Amino acid sequence: MKLDQTRFHKLKRRFYKHLWFFRPFSYLLILSLTTFLLVWSTPKLAPFFKRFLQGPQMIVSLINPSIQKLDNFQDRTNLLLLGIAGGDHPGADLTDSIMLFSINLKTADTVLISLPRDIWVESLQAKLNTAYHFGEDKQPGSGLILAKSAVSEIINQPVHYGVVLNFTGFEKAIDITGGLNLDVPHSFVDKKYPIPGKETAEPESDRYETLEFLAGPQHMDGPTALKYVRSRHAEGEEGTDYARAQRQQRVILAFKDKLLSTKTLLNPSRLKALNKTFKASVTTDIPSTSYPDLFKLALRIDQANIRTGIIDQGSQSEDIPPLLYSPPASLYGQWVLLPVNNDWQAVYRHVEEILYQNQ
């Protein structure tokens, strides 16, 4: 027995001694699996995959560590993430969730900034969440152009690319990956969560259901996670845009972890189901020529150091001053958000500080 243990320890030492040799192969395996997932996440990636297999230039592009084909400003590429309800009901293409994902091309410093959907956009004479709708209504395919322009107007930074995700697809994708493990920081109750398909039900109380989330670790399936991020009428501070934006960021980051976990990447049936779901629910204007650079950039991101920011009405409990306020509804005929003291420069400075504090 003692001899066997001695042999085991010798083999163990030899393994660690030569680990440097085996480690690249494990990285290559992860790289290949992640590439497969990215390739089948949108229909536009299929032609890229064919060119990657057939064209040496595409292989060289992926191996080359430099980032060459991503639009950027001051070394940052800004990607707009939009969430829509989808379906045939009124407001199906209003953007319920609006987030800016910004990555530094040299350092991979990553920032996620949430914007409330009710911010008033002067050039549109409408709220921010209508930009995608108006663009699509005017000319199909123009929704992202108008939404990116509106966000750029608000933050005084260019928005290079956009991605639109249908919430139904997001809900299915969460279930495909086995649900999300979240730590809910605060309990809350929302007695007016709208029930899909009952927007005009009578009496009015039949249009809503009551949601309750308790503080602590939670395992959420797709429908539950979606209700968690979309709740708007919770009692207390959890009903604010600040808390809602935090919930959205929390779910997005948890989903990212689940999507890139070995349980997903090593499961062909999950990958196939995700491929089908994403094809039906994701729209983007990212050119296929930029995919190699996006992939290389994604590999450099330090997941533990993704910074988050919010443009909103602040938080009393966390002593965060407001950037936005709600004027009397009579001013615009609806409930909207404007910068405090009508000072857009304060919003610009806030965004700039978040984006460039590490540069």
DSSP-derived secondary structure letter, 240: S
CA 201 distance to own-chain centroid? 33
Residue type, 325: Y
**Measured between alpha carbons, how far is 251 from 156 in angstroms, rounded to an integer?**
27
Tokens matching residue 267: 């499961």
Residue 4's pLDDT is 54
Q: Find, among 251, 232, 252, the residue nearest to 242 by Cα.
A: 232
Helices (H), 215-342: 222-230, 241-259, 262-265, 268-281, 291-300
Tokens matching residue 308: 């988050």
Cis, bond preceding 203 (omega within 30 deg of 0): yes
- In this structure, are strands 208-213 and 188-194 parallel, antiparallel, or unpaired? antiparallel
CA dihedral 126, 127, 130, 134 (to 10 degrees): 20
- In this structure, are strands 208-213 and 161-166 parallel, antiparallel, or unpaired? unpaired
**Measured between alpha carbons, how far is 21 from 31 in angstroms, rounded to an integer?**
17
Residue 138's pLDDT is 92
**Measured between alpha carbons, how far is 101 from 80 in angstroms, rounded to an integer?**
6
Residue 21's pLDDT is 39
DSSP string over 145-184: HHHHHHHHHHHTS---EEEEEEHHHHHHHHHHTT-EEEEE
Per-residue pLDDT of the chain (359 residues; tens, 9 = 90+): 444 555 545 444 544 444 443 344 344 444 444 444 444 444 455 455 444 444 444 444 445 567 778 999 999 999 999 999 876 666 788 998 899 999 999 888 999 999 999 999 999 999 999 999 999 999 999 999 999 999 999 999 999 999 999 988 999 999 999 999 999 999 999 999 988 878 888 988 888 999 999 999 999 999 999 999 989 888 888 888 778 888 988 998 888 888 878 888 888 999 899 988 988 898 999 998 888 888 778 777 776 788 888 888 776 666 678 899 999 988 889 999 999 999 999 999 999 999 998 76
